Amino acid sequence: MTVIDELVTLEEEAVAALAAAADLDALAEWKSKYIGKSGALTRLSRGLGALPPEQRPEVGRRVNALREQLDAAYERAEAALRAASVHAELAADRIDITMPGRPPALGHMHLTNQVIAQVREIFGELGFQVGESPEVELDAFNFGLLNFPDDHPARDMQDTFYVEMPEGAPSVLLRTHTSNAQIHAMRRLAPRPLRVLVPGKCYRNEQVTARSEMQFFQFEFLAVGYHVSMSDLKGTLGYFAERMFGPGTQVRLRPSFFPFTEPSTEMDVSCFLCASKGCRICKYSGWLEIGGCGMVHPTVLRNGGYDPQVVSGFAGGFGPERIALLKYGIDDIRNFYNGDLRFVKQFG
C-alpha cells in the first residue's frame, strides 16, 4: 500500500470516528489518536523522509491538506458539542414563565407587638387614646414627680440605667417603667379629662433570667376625670381581662404599694388555663398575677396640673410579655428576644 493509499484510508477512518464522537471527552480522545503529537497523521508524516525525492512534494502536500481538513473538522465538532452542552444546561435551568411564581417569604408581627396591638384595640374600645413618652428620661419624670423622694426605698425596687451627664446637669436615665407617661400626658391635657394608653420599652439593670430581662415592654393606662373611682378601675380591668383572656375571666385586686397610686393594688385574673381548678402555671392557686394598678396619688395629680380636690383618676402598668407568657404557656421570657426563629414562627 502506497503512502497516498494510507492517507486516503486514514482520512476515511478519521472522518467516521469524528462523526461518532458524542461528547467532549470522546472528541479529545479522537484528537489525540489522529492529529495529536503522537497521532496517526503525525506518525505518517514522519515517514516522508524515506520516500523517493520525486514523491515527497506531492505526498507532503496531501499530508498538509489532510491535517488542515482534520483540524477544521475538529474545531467544528468541538464548537457544536460545546454549544449543545450549553443548550442542555439552559434547557435544564429553563423557567416556565406560565407557571405561578414562588411567593416571597414574608415576615410577621412579633408576639410582643401582637399583644400590644390587642391591648390597643381593647383600650381603644373604652375610649383610650394611644400616646408616647420618652425612653431617655429625666429622673424627675421617672421618679420625682411620681412621688418618689430621693431617699425613698421604693427607688431600690427598680435598678436603673443612668446616663452620664456633666456635673450640675439634671439626672438622666433610661426609663424603668412607662409610668413616666403620666406626668407628660397630664401636663399636656390638664385640666381636661383624659384617657390615655402608652405602650413602650423599659430598661432595668437586672440579672437576665427566665423571668426577667434588662429590656422589656410595658403599657401604661391612665384615666383622669370627675368622679373617677375604684369601681371604674375594676370595671375597666374586668373588660380588659375578658377581652384578652376570654369570656368569664374574673378579676381580683390585692392590696399593694406603689408611690404614685393610693390605694395601690395588684391585679390577678382567674386562671384561664385550668378554669381556676389549679395548675402548674397558676401554682395551683387558680389565679394569675398580671400587674400593678391603683388610684392616682393626689401628689401625682397635682404635679400633673390637676386639682385632686376636683378630679381623680386611676392608672396601671402591665407587661405584654408577661401576658403572653401566661396566655401561651411560655416558660422563658428570653425567648422573646434571642432571635430563635423556631420560637418566633410559632406565632406567625
- DSSP secondary structure string for all residues of 85-124: HHHHHHHHT---TTSPPPPPP-----HHHHHHHHHHHHHH
pLDDT at 85 over 90: no
Q: Dihedral sign, CA of 283, 287, 289, 295?
A: negative
Query: 115-139 pLDDT, tens per residue?
Result: 999 999 999 999 999 999 999 999 9
The whole-number average pLDDT for the span 93-111 is 81
Determine the Cα–Cα distance for residues 68 and 189; give it in Å rounded to an integer.
98
| CA distances from residue 6 to 2, 62, 67 in whole angstroms, order as listed | 6, 11, 14
**Residue 17 pLDDT:** 82
Determine the Cα–Cα distance for residues 342 and 321; give it in Å rounded to an integer.
18
- Residues comprising the chain, all counted: 348
Q: What is the pTM of this model?
A: 0.69
305-311 own/partner pairs: CB under 8 Å, 24+ apart: 305/186, 305/187, 305/190, 305/191, 306/186, 306/190, 306/191, 306/224, 307/191, 310/226, 311/191, 311/193, 311/224, 311/225, 311/226, 311/228
Under 8 Å between Cβ of 172 and 203: no
**Residue 33 pLDDT:** 82
Write out the H or E segment, with its range, that includes residue 262: strand 261-270
**Residue 1 pLDDT:** 62
Mean pLDDT is highest, among 70-84, 147-161, 217-231, for 217-231
Number of CB atoms found within 10 A of residue 43's CB: 11
| Cα angle, residue 178 at apex, residues 208 and 163 outer, rounded to 5° | 65
**Residue 135 pLDDT:** 96
**Residue 258 pLDDT:** 92
Name which residue leads in pLDDT, 307 or 275. 307
Determine the Cα–Cα distance for residues 319 and 332; give it in Å rounded to an integer.
14
Determine the Cα–Cα distance for residues 257 and 236; give it in Å rounded to an integer.
20
Determine the Cα–Cα distance for residues 316 and 196; give it in Å rounded to an integer.
11
> Which pLDDT band, with edges at 50, 70 and 90, does 6 fall under?
confident
Query: 172-224 pLDDT, tens per residue?
Result: 999 999 999 999 999 999 999 999 999 999 999 888 888 888 999 999 999 99
If you search the block for the grid coordinates 520525486, which residue do you land on? 54
- Domain at 111-347, CATH from 3.30.930.10, 3.30.110.40, 2.160.10.10, 3.40.50.300: 3.30.930.10
Mean pLDDT is highest, among 39-43, 89-93, 161-165, 260-264, for 260-264
278 φ, ψ to 5°? 105, 120
Give me the sheet containing 312-318, strands edge to edge.
129-130, 194-203, 215-225, 312-318, 287-296, 261-270, 251-258
HSE of 336 in the Cβ direction (CA atoms, 13 Å)?
28
Please provide the average confidence, as pLDDT, over all residues in the chain.
88
**Residue 154 pLDDT:** 63
Note if the bond before 166 is cis, omega within 30 degrees. Answer: no
> Which pLDDT band, with edges at 50, 70 and 90, does 158 fall under?
low
